[in-house]
Structure 1
């Protein structure tokens, strides 16, 4: 094909090559512009906070840049799609001629590959996985070479529904062997697998594409945000099949919020928690009655083979628990998604695992607090003594918050982006409010807690902190400081912190400090608060510590 320089040009359908690139300006909305160009309503909607009366950017520049940074590529290497499903459809529409070209995959795998090929009228070439659900690379490559018309080969890793991980070197070898076929690595679940992404390599290789999504690890399945990552020519060609305005404004807003730097630690903590729960589920189900095998490798799910799927379906239905039965993968195949601890306990009980679901309710909480002055993401677990990670931009305040969690005996993740260029006031105040809200939420109905608690000496200083988790906010502070600051931390904020905690926790907090060294007095107050909190939140039984019958 003379005059055709790139692989994308050589493989694209003639109809797609004939399409002109988008001519809609991708410059983003000008807040001062008078928009009389797109037949929109000039009035803001009545039932939403998003400006959905205007069309969104065809490719939202801020989101595209943030996702490109997340995946370690440049903006031109990425096209934001309506979930990874949309990216699959765009590729098949762009490169496969109906009735002539083919897509290849190895079943059992994600059913969207076959479905979108059928919609396009493309042929399918299925080279099944082996008995261990691993990719038969040589057989797949030989079948593609023999066919001669395969434009795309989809490799799902971690695989859906089995969770098997295809090593990156295997996918590279497949791309090396098939230079005239685009190898599509579907990495929808890669955040849950100990394996490197091929996104960076796809950015420079003409015949390698990676699919990513915010549905799984970032909790945005309902927003439908994904990405096609590849060589700029491939991305540009596939984008010609995209609708003019594919992404709803609320979805764009949700994705930008989820990918805010302040929330990164929260996502990492959630992923770690899901991996712990995945391991717990796998171990518990190994000996469950009627469960023949448990597969766990990558993904936020397990793949089980059960002896009587019909009976299991009846049991789960009676308990309003939904799983995916996958008889096409195995006669008794079941894909079980990892949920919260409480959800997982309910599932274990349905599988007949004794002792499941009998523990105390989870005492965890997450708080996202965003104002014009601060952006805070916080997670804590009162029944775990770690990890502790605090980053507010103020080193001494980080140390004090860490002291609360360390001496309180609970896990804490707290990230804050605040207007420290003004001063530390808003950062310190809002972090205290967020911490208090999280503690109050995690305590739930407070059944079984100690409720009260503490005093401690620190060298020449003495700090006394008394707490009553009464539900009635009250703060009392006695003490003063001679220094205005400790590092960048304003000492005048110390009393304010405990007042903010009392208000947001709905607790009575009395603090008294005295001594000669302001550092010791401040640190002593925070440590004593942590120790008082440890006593107050400690579970001592199952009764409510109040004669009123509520706290």
Structure 2
């Protein structure tokens, strides 16, 4: 006996299974490595917009321009969608007639292509990947030519879940070989690979569309922001299948925050960290006795082939780890998203191949005011990279000296009201730097805590530093020059006070000499050397008889 809803529904809906997304109602401390999300929180608050009582722009001009610049195309060749999933649905609804038309896919691949096609009532034709999950381009073209009423052919590069990459020239050759079929190339994971994007080629070809997303590399999976890129005529027509207001104001605000210029360097650093972690995890997992194969492809994930997937599932469940088991893709197939280093170490521990964990001393922060927008990333246990752009070149040099002599990685970017003067940028950068350093130190357990001083030519700077948890700053010294380049020397004492307050540290500075450049640089170099001593890992717990700092 069928229910009323089943009797009234379209047959395609009745026949359609649930979307291939398992429930995630799990404890808050679960390690979620099953959905290929970026493990880092978005950069920027994306605060509630004051205009949520108004409908947003259907295609926000600023966001389109920023995405177009990011992908190297003209804004008219791009339509913004609710993630790449929405772009897939849009294309199928725009070009496929229910019961008549077909799409071609190359399994194992992203399941949404088939899902949305079946939802529309379109036929799904499958041309499976060959040995080692390689694409047989000639066979794919032959399958397309043999399929009546084929409207769309989908290829994912890097592929989900295998991570395989199809070369850009091969993709263009396939599009050229199928002039009456639209080839859709899904580049959701391309930022994590060495693959060349075909976005610019899509603009020049009438039958090539590229899908991009901010969900993976930019950590905005919850905001649902993606894009379809192609010729102006194709994009304009396909966009007719979108609802009138496809994007929420809050999602637009989150995307604009994430794509702000001062955030780009930190996103690039995060991507590099995920790629490095992917390589580390692949190397370590190849030692696991319970795995037959570890595929290190081009995404933010690994594809594993487990000897006993049921046992692996139990091990992960016991450790509170979620992974995506894809045994329809390969026997024992498991797609494992790359998380933070701590999360990845938990995976290794669950497999019995982990080392004693060493806590990460990294921090990323974004600090926005009406005067400045600042993004900072710091890693106390890595000496590089160091890239600073405050808008005040001499101050860039000083902060670089602190990081270089402190022996830690520092990325800091600031845009601010330099048209007024340098005060706000310098002050706020000192606050953001100190805040990030404090966050990276955590509870300050096992550090040296104290640090000391240094001479520079005729100048001498003495720094007494205590990472005490109690902010206090004392600056003794003066400068004859008002500026060094665009840097006001009067700001030096203010920098140390702002830094000490944000770091929650006691910082005493005494400087003397003849050359104001030497005196200023000596102060910052001495701070770096003092920090090198104070942040150094030592045996033991919190370095205080109180038991906390």
TM-score (structure 2 length as normaliser): 0.91
Tell me the residue number matched to 2:544: 546
Tell me the residue number matched to 1:460: 458
Tell me the residue number matched to 1:480: 478
> In 2, are the aligned partners of 1:84 and 1:226 still within 8 Å (CA)?
yes
Superposed displacement of residue 148, structure 1? 3.3
> In 1, are the aligned partners of 2:470 and 2:504 still within 8 Å (CA)?
yes
Superposed displacement of residue 359, structure 1? 2.5
Tell me the residue number matched to 2:259: 259
Tell me the residue number matched to 2:112: 112
Equivalent of 1:451 in 449, 452, 461: 449
> In 2, are the aligned partners of 1:133 and 1:164 still within 8 Å (CA)?
yes
Tell me the residue number matched to 1:191: 191
> In 2, are the aligned partners of 1:439 and 1:505 still within 8 Å (CA)?
yes
After TM superposition, the runs of 4+ consecutive aligned structure 1 residues lying more than 2 A away are: 47-51
1 CA distance for matches of 2:289 and 2:303?
A: 16
> In 2, are the aligned partners of 1:141 and 1:177 still within 8 Å (CA)?
yes
1:513 aligns with 2:530: no
| Structure 1 unaligned spans of 5+ | 1-46
Alignment of 1:90-489 (within 5 A): 90-355=90-355, 358-489=356-487
Superposed displacement of residue 418, structure 1? 1.2
Change (3 A) 1:63 1:485: same
Q: RCO (CA 8 Å, sep 6+): is it higher in 1 or 2?
A: 2
Question: Could you say what secondary structure the match of 2:401 adopts?
Answer: helix
Superposed displacement of residue 319, structure 1? 1.6
2 CA distance for matches of 1:382 and 1:542?
A: 18
Superposed displacement of residue 542, structure 1? 2.6
Question: Could you say what secondary structure the match of 1:203 adopts?
Answer: helix
Superposed displacement of residue 49, structure 1? 4.7
> In 1, are the aligned partners of 2:49 and 2:253 still within 8 Å (CA)?
no
| Structure 2 unaligned spans of 5+ | 1-46
Q: Deviations over 1:137-165 (max 9, x none)?
A: 11111111122311110010000000001
Root-mean-square deviation (Å): 0.9
2 CA distance for matches of 1:103 and 1:325?
A: 26
2 CA distance for matches of 1:206 and 1:407?
A: 55
Tell me the residue number matched to 1:84: 84
2 CA distance for matches of 1:487 and 1:175?
A: 55
Q: Deviations over 1:343-392 (max 9, x none)?
A: 0000111122142xx22210011110111111100000000011100011
1 CA distance for matches of 2:259 and 2:354?
A: 40
Superposed displacement of residue 61, structure 1? 1.1
Tell me the residue number matched to 1:23: none
Alignment of 1:9-28 (within 5 A): none
Question: Could you say what secondary structure the match of 1:457 adopts?
Answer: strand
2 CA distance for matches of 1:119 and 1:519?
A: 69
Question: Could you say what secondary structure the match of 1:240 adopts?
Answer: helix
2 CA distance for matches of 1:423 and 1:359?
A: 46
2 CA distance for matches of 1:125 and 1:141?
A: 12
> In 2, are the aligned partners of 1:408 and 1:530 still within 8 Å (CA)?
yes
Question: Could you say what secondary structure the match of 1:147 adopts?
Answer: coil
1:490 aligns with 2:497: no
> In 2, are the aligned partners of 1:105 and 1:154 still within 8 Å (CA)?
yes
2 CA distance for matches of 1:261 and 1:223?
A: 19
Question: Could you say what secondary structure the match of 1:482 adopts?
Answer: coil
Stretch deviating more after TM superposition (48-57 or 221-230): 48-57
2 CA distance for matches of 1:366 and 1:76?
A: 34
TM-score (structure 1 length as normaliser): 0.90
Stretch deviating more after TM superposition (276-285 or 136-145): 136-145
Question: Could you say what secondary structure the match of 2:451 adopts?
Answer: coil
